[in-house]
Structure 1
Amino acid sequence: MFVQLKTGYDTDRGPSWICWVDFNRTWNTARFHGKELRRFRTADANFYDVETEETYWLSGPKKDRTDLRYGPGAPVIDEDARAAYEELLAGG
């Protein structure tokens, strides 16, 4: 998944990751990097951290690497997700 922190940053300038995310059966709760996120919807975010109330955007990674619409740089790719991400980019 593509995950980006939205709280405290201008549009698409927060840190982001390509990583594994675990969802519950209804997809209303997500877990990544030790955080528990709950689904909600604003114009800029679709999940929030239940502990810190920080907001995040979660989506599937894009093959054309345009996950960051306006922000500089690239997402950090977690090592345990790297092989699957590279396969996605290669068209697999």
Structure 2
Amino acid sequence: MKQRIMYIESKSGGLTGPARIGRVTFSKTGATLYYAGRSFQSQKGGGFKSNYFDVETGDVFWISGPRKDGQDSLYATHQRPTVDADVWDEYWTAIRGREKPPERRNVNDA
């Protein structure tokens, strides 16, 4: 299955919510994403400020490819997403374009 580093923001609490940068796996059709033991189904354009929902809970999310400039959220919230440890180096070098990634102080630093 295809994998990609993506920006994942919960929209269940409103227009902004906790966000992460992590590696998702795509289903064969691409309509379902898998991340951290959860399955996310595409809303196929039917969501309001969200584009996926958690299959088990129904919670809604904005999931998209991360941007080089780091402005990943749907709205300019200036919040910093948590970057998963397993994608830290690749995120900062391949996506953000840094020669070397910043030093991690702990897993939740971004």
| 2:82 maps to 1:76 | yes
Residue 23 of structure 2 aligns to a residue whose secondary structure is coil
Q: Residue deviations 1:37-83, cap 9 Å, x none?
A: 11113131111011100001111000011112322421100000111
Is 2:52 the counterpart of 1:47? yes
Q: For the aligned residues, what is the CA RMSD? A: 1.5
Q: Secondary structure at the match of 1:44?
A: coil
Q: Which has the higher contact order (CA 8 A, sep 6+)?
A: 1
Which structure would you say has the larger Rg? 2
Tell me which residue corresponds to 2:24: 21
TM-score by length of 2: 0.75
Equivalent of 1:2 in 4, 7, 11: 7
How many Å separate the matches in 2 of 1:23 and 1:7? Answer: 22
Query: Which residue of structure 2 aligns with residue 35 of structure 1?
Result: 38
Runs of 4+ in 1 over 4 A off after TM superposition: none
The alpha-carbon deviation at position 91 of structure 1 amounts to 6.1
Q: Distance in 1 between matches of 2:12 and 2:53?
A: 9
Deviation per CA, 1:5-24: give whole Å up to 9, x if none: 01112x2x200101000011
Contiguous gaps of at least 5 residues in structure 2: 1-5, 100-110
> What's the % identity of the aligned pairs?
30
Gaps of 5+ in 1: none
Count of aligned residue pairs for this structure pair:
90
Distance 1:26 1:52 in 2: 22
